[in-house]
Structures are given as C-alpha cells and as structure tokens.
C-alpha cells in the first residue's frame, strides 16, 4: 500500500491539474471528462519520471510526512497540467 499511495496522489493531482489548465486555456480544453482523464494520465506519467519525488524533495520531504504528500500532489498536478495542455492544443490544431 505504501508504494501505491504516491501514485494515487499523483493521479488525483494530475486530474486536478488537467481541469485547471482546461479552465484557464479554453482553446486547450478537452471538456471536463477529457481534462480529468488526460490529467490523471499526466499525473501518472509524472510519477514514472519521478516528478512528485523531486518536488517533495525540494519542499523538504523525504520522511513520509505532509511535505511528501504535498510534493506528490504538486508533481502530479504539473504532469496533468502539461499533458492536458499539449493534448488539447494538438487536438485544437488538428480540428482546424
């Protein structure tokens, strides 16, 4: 369970990040469900690249405490934000 929790936190953070970018960049929005799914995938991809662990370490985490959770969520959010923006902009360019 300890190995699964960071992944779940990053996936949830990615879903939030995907919806944030969808709200901020209307031309990159994939709709609520699309933003959530692509954002969650981006959060999971961020986990694969160690993004959450890096952010957690920058915040002074590493002991399994609150800063680790915040770092995992922030790393997932960034991954979700980036992937949703990229997919949304590509979709927008292809639909023209």
Q: What's the pLDDT score for residue 13?
A: 94
> pTM of the entire structure?
0.87
Going residue by residue through the chain, which has 96 residues, state the pLDDT in tens, using 9 for 90 and above: 567 888 899 999 999 999 999 999 999 899 999 999 999 999 998 877 877 777 777 877 667 778 888 888 888 999 999 999 999 999 999 987
Domain count of the fold of the chain: 1
Q: Which helix (H) or strand (E) holds 32?
A: helix 31-48
Question: 30: domain range?
Answer: 4-94
Q: What's the pLDDT score for residue 49?
A: 80
């Amino acid at each position: 369970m300890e190995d699964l929790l960071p992944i779940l936190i990053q996936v949830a953070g990615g879903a939030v990040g995907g919806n944030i970018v969808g709200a901020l960049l209307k031309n990159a929005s994939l709709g609520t469900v699309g933003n959530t799914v692509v954002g969650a995938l981006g959060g999971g991809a961020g986990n694969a690249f160690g993004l959450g662990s890096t952010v957690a370490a920058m915040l002074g985490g590493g002991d399994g405490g609150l800063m680790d959770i915040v770092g995992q969520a922030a790393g997932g959010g960034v991954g979700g934000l980036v992937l949703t923006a990229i997919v949304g902009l590509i979709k927008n360019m292809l639909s023209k």
